[in-house]
């Protein structure tokens, strides 16, 4: 039986009325949970990938500056899992998950055009949570930014750059 310490919870969403693209991960990993920051693991490629998408340096600036640059570009962040049991950080270890209210959040964002899923687990759980929701949003599956997903950075970047058109005003 999993220990109580294995119960993990997601962070609050980072969105505002100008969010045009919502990027959803599965559930923060151990390093992110300890630092209370999205994508805090130094080997996670999220900030480099999103920097390419928004055309701004993100990986080498302070966390609050990263978030501000994403918001300025029309990008929001959240996770598909509200709570789950998980030993370690791997998505394959997620058990007994409770979903976040993705459809409710998306419906509250008037400028939202697309919802992107960072990795296979986020896509599988997120698409299930959005079944029957408003179809005005484009859903985009992305290769995971996690270091556990070992395809090369350039291949990931090519796929992530497909998000750029959703950021146009």
d(CA 4, CA 65): 34
Burial of 96: CB neighbours in 10 Å, binned 0-12, 13-18, 19+:
exposed
- Would residue 118 show up in a list of annotated catalytic residues for this protein? no
d(CA 162, CA 3): 40
Tell me the backbone φ, ψ of residue 109, rounded to 5 degrees: -105, 100
In the set 32, 44, 118, 146, the catalytic residue is: 44
> Which positions are catalytic?
44
């Amino acid at each position: 039986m999993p220990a109580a310490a294995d119960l993990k919870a997601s962070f609050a969403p980072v969105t505002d009325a100008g969010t045009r693209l919502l990027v959803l991960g599965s559930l923060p990993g151990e390093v992110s949970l300890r630092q209370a920051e999205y994508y805090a693991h130094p080997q996670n490629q999220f900030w480099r990938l999103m920097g390419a998408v928004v055309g701004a340096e993100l990986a080498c600036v302070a966390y609050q500056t990263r978030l501000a640059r994403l918001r300025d570009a029309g990008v929001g962040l959240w996770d598909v899992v509200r709570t789950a049991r998980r030993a370690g950080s791997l998505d394959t270890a997620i058990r007994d998950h409770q979903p976040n209210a993705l459809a409710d959040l998306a419906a509250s964002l008037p400028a939202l055009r697309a919802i992107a899923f960072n990795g296979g687990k986020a896509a599988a759980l997120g698409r299930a949570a959005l079944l029957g929701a408003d179809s005005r949003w484009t859903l985009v599956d992305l290769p995971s930014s996690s270091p556990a997903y070992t395809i090369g950075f350039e291949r990931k970047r090519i796929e992530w750059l497909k998000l750029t058109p959703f950021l146009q005003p």
